Structures are given as C-alpha cells and as structure tokens.
C-alpha cells in the first residue's frame, strides 16, 4: 500500500472539479480582457475620427459662411470648393456617426471590463472559500452566460482594434503592477 502524503494546515487540496472551474474562469477572464481592450481601442479610434471629421467641418462651415456674406471679390470658386468639402465631411459624419460608435464601443468595453474584474475576484477569492463546487459551478455558468450575452449584444470589434489589442496585451498593457511584483 502506497504511503499517503500528509497535508499541512497551509496546504489546500484542490479537486479536479475546482481545477476545471478555475481554468474556465481564466478563459473567461482572458476573453473578456481582450474584448474590453478591443472595444476601448475602437472607442478611441472612433473618437479620433469624430474629431478628424468634425473639426474641419466646423471650421470650413464658418469660412463658407463668412465668405458668403463678403462682397463679390472673385473668390466664389474657393467658397464653392469649401462648400463641397463641407458637404462631403458632413455626409461622412452622418453616415459613419463616429461619436455614437465611440460611445457604443466604450460601453461595450466597460461591460467586458466589469465581467473580467468579477471573474478575476471569483477565481482568486471565491474559489478558495467555503462555497461548494456546485455553487461555484453555477456562478461560473452565470459568468459564461453573461459573456455570451455580451458577445451577442455588443458590436464586433474592428480588425484594427483587435490587432492593436493583441500587440498591446503582448507588450504588457493589461498587466497590473501588483501581479508583476508577485511573480518575480
């Protein structure tokens, strides 16, 4: 008969079920972190487009307005060209609606960030408490269902947002200083 290793008071025996719960929680965390950061990146990108299109539209509209009240000085061609540019930029602003897209992606990023934080706390604290494996499994299923709802309800991150996120996370942008200190 093989000798059984005795555990000390500080050691925790982790069941196969709890190990799988923790692994699945890590998967949800990672996915939520990528989704949050992708949406935040897209929110920033659309905010930039809003300024890129909105500021020139506003400035050029003012120039056209001033020119239209000026006496004829042969610059009507310039005013006409500026008016065409303003019309094109205004059309793009209406069609793309970058301010609304920025807000939608920011809200999605915040929702995924909230899920990421709650799953991390679940994994690092709740899983080590006195809750039964059934309670932990049910809570994990709730997190998974919330992630599925977010995936269905939130807009798809752009390819640029995804690539920026992947590079950013690879370069440590999503790491907390406390985690870096406890690893090394």
Residue range 32-84, pLDDT digits in tens: 999 999 999 999 999 999 999 999 888 888 887 777 666 555 556 777 788 88
Q: How many domains does the chain have?
A: 1
- Res 8: pLDDT: 55
- Is 178 a member of any domain? no
- Is 26 in contact with 116 (CB distance < 8 Å)? no
- Is 85 in contact with 60 (CB distance < 8 Å)? yes
Dihedral of the alpha carbons of 40, 25, 169, 111, in degrees to the nearest 10: 10
Per-residue pLDDT band at 117 (split at 50, 70, 90): very high
- Is 52 in contact with 157 (CB distance < 8 Å)? no
Domain extent, residue 140, equals 21-170
- Is 8 a member of any domain? no
- Is 7 a member of any domain? no
- Is 164 a member of any domain? yes
Report field, pTM of the whole predicted structure over 0.75: yes
């Amino acid at each position: 008969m093989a000798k059984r290793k005795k555990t000390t008071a500080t050691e925790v025996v982790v069941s196969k079920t709890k190990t799988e719960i923790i692994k699945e929680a890590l998967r949800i965390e990672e996915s939520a972190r990528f989704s949050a950061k992708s949406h935040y990146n897209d929110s920033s990108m659309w905010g930039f487009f809003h300024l890129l299109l909105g500021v020139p539209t506003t400035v050029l509209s003012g120039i056209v307005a001033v020119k239209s009240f000026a006496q004829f000085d042969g610059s009507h061609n310039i005013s006409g060209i500026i008016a065409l540019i303003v019309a094109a930029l205004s059309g793009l602003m209406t069609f793309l609606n970058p301010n609304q897209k920025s807000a939608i992606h920011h809200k999605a990023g915040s929702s995924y960030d909230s899920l990421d934080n709650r799953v991390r706390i679940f994994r690092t604290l709740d899983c080590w408490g006195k809750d039964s494996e059934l309670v932990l499994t049910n809570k994990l299923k709730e997190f998974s269902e919330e992630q599925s709802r977010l995936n269905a309800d939130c807009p798809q991150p752009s390819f640029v947002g995804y690539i920026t996120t992947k590079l950013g996370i690879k370069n440590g942008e999503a790491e907390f200083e406390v985690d870096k200190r406890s690893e090394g």
